Structure formats: C-alpha cells, structure tokens
C-alpha cells in the first residue's frame, strides 16, 4: 500500500491556521511550564527565559528563509507544503518572539540594574530593536487589511528586508558563540549550521534561476570552464571561511577597523564589519562565477562544457 504524500500534506489539520495553532499552543504551554520552573523574581532567571524563548524562535526564521529556495532546488510535495504554509510558519516565529519580547520587557522594567550592568550593550540593543520594528510591520502586512496600504514593491521590500534582518541577527549570535566566545555548547553548532544552510540554499536557488534565465533568454550562451573552476574554488574557500572563523576573525577585524571611521561605525552600525557573513559573501561570488554566461562569438573557439 503506497502512501500518497501529496494527499496527506493537503489535510486541513496541518495547513494554514490549524498548523499555526498546532505549533503555537504547545509552544506557549512549554513557555509557561518553563516560567514556572525558572526564578522569575531575579534578573538571571528572566535572562534564562529570554534565551529559552530565542531557542524556540530561531528554527522558524531559518526555515522561513530557506523555504522558497527548497522549492526551487528540490520541487516536490513537501517543499510545496512548506511554501503554502510559509506565512503561518512565520507567525509561529512571531509567537516565540512575542514571548521573548515579554521577557525583555520584564527584564528592562523590573530588573533594570541587572539589565544595564550585565545584559545591555548599545549595538546589541540596536540590532535587536530593529528586528522588533520589522516583525510587527511584517505581521500586520501579512493580512489584507495591512497589505492594502502598501504597493507590491513596498510589500516585497518590507518583507524581504525584514526576513534578511531577522535571519542575520541570530545567525550572527551563533557565529560569535562559536568563533569568539569560549566554550560553545552543541546547540550553538546546530543553529549556526542551520542558519548558514538556510542562506546558502538561497544562493544556490539564485544560481539555478540565473542559469535557467540565461538558457531561456540567450540559449546560445554558455559558461566557460575557467569560470566554473574558478567559481568552484571560490565556493570551496567560502566554506573554509565558514568553519575557520576562530583563526581569522581577530586579524581581519583589526585590519578592517584600523581606519578611524570604520572603528566608529563598529560602535553603532549593526553587524559592522560583517564578519559573520564573509563566508556567504564569498560563496555568493563563487555562485555568480559558476553561472556566468558568455555569448558565443562566431568564428572564435572557446573551451566550454
């Protein structure tokens, strides 16, 4: 007896708002149980709940970032189910972030001394606050009553910018945990890898679409083998950079912040000088080279595959 995956994934119980409630309610119950076990009368206890809620939120935003790319790279019933429910998976992320927002509110209002002595750092506050500006705007405009106030371009700009920023912040946090702070825990490796994979899939999907567009618009074009080899080498170097931050991040940081203007930017510009993302910048460059099409010139012989 064969299993019809497509039919199973169309079941109303695991789609749209029912999927949302299926995830959001148990998650909220877990939050309440964790609160009961934490010492919410102290700053460290509330701080523990902030971290706990973040660990619930992060997988959802990484998944949201990856979903459209998964459908492009591996089309099928399950990727299509993910794409169909992307908004509701994003809403699950918003619920987890709402819990975090509650704990941050408690911390900053009832344990101010602990907050400013042990937690607060201006640039971290700036980076986190920007995420909380994007998130409610994205939630409101996910529904028709909010979306109708934006043009199509404005809506895409808001949601794409918001998703990238909401991905960038936790990804950077786990990059720092691995390559700057001492004694990372296993979950740091897992979440860093998931965040890296989510964006790497977007790069791969962009490369695939770029190739398809080239074949469709200029079928006589092709990618010279030298570009493919060079691009592959650049991608391999990007993967090396992604796993070796412990060895290069300090000298690179010193070099990039040597100018006074750069050192000043580091104090207030979110993520500057973008060390956590170097590997993905490099991989993106490699993908661009691998998919670089060159028109054939009549009478000119080229080495191609």
DSSP line for 58-97:
HHHHHHHHHHHHHHHHS-SHHHHHHHHTHHHHHHHHHHHH
pLDDT the model gives residue 107 = 86
The 3-state DSSP composition of the chain as helix, strand, coil percent (nearest 5) reads: 80, 0, 20
Band (110; pLDDT cuts 50, 70, 90) = confident
pLDDT the model gives residue 303 = 38
How far is residue 46's CA from residue 271's CA, in Å, rounded to a whole number?
Answer: 26
How far is residue 133's CA from residue 140's CA, in Å, rounded to a whole number?
Answer: 12
Per residue in 198-251, pLDDT tens?
999 999 999 999 988 888 888 777 888 999 999 999 999 999 999 999 999 999
| CA-wise closest residue to 135 among 92, 105, 175 | 92
| CA-wise closest residue to 236 among 300, 189, 199, 289 | 289
Q: Is the pLDDT of residue 173 over 60?
A: yes
Residue 234 contacts residue 286 (beta carbons within 8 Å): yes
Band (302; pLDDT cuts 50, 70, 90) = very low
């Amino acid at each position: 007896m064969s299993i019809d995956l497509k039919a199973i994934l169309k079941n109303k119980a695991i789609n749209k708002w029912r999927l949302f409630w299926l995830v959001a309610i148990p998650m909220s119950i877990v939050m309440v149980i964790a609160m009961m076990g934490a010492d919410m009368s102290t700053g460290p206890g509330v701080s523990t709940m902030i971290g706990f809620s973040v660990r619930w939120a992060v997988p959802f935003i990484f998944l949201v970032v990856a979903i459209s790319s998964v459908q492009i790279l591996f089309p099928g019933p399950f990727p299509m189910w993910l794409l169909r429910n992307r908004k509701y998976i994003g809403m699950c992320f918003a619920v987890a972030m709402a819990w975090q927002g509650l704990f941050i509110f408690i911390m900053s209002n009832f344990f101010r001394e602990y907050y400013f002595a042990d937690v607060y750092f201006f640039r971290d506050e700036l980076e986190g606050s920007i995420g909380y500006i994007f998130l409610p705007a994205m939630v409101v405009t996910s529904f028709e009553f909010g979306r109708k106030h934006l043009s199509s371009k404005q809506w895409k700009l808001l949601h794409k910018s918001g998703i990238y920023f909401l991905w960038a912040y936790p990804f950077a946090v786990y990059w720092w945990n691995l390559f700057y702070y001492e004694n990372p825990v296993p979950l740091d490796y897992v979440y860093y890898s998931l965040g890296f994979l989510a964006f790497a899939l977007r790069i791969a999907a962009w490369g695939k679409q770029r190739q398809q567009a080239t074949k469709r618009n200029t079928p006589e074009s092709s990618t010279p083998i030298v570009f493919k080899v060079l691009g592959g080498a650049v991608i391999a170097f990007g993967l090396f950079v992604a796993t070796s931050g412990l060895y290069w991040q300090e000298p690179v940081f010193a070099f990039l912040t040597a100018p006074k203007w750069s050192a000043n930017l580091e104090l207030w510009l979110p993520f500057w000088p973008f060390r956590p993302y170097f590997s993905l910048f490099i991989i993106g460059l490699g993908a661009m080279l691998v998919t670089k099409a060159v028109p054939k010139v009549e009478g000119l012989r080229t080495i191609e595959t």
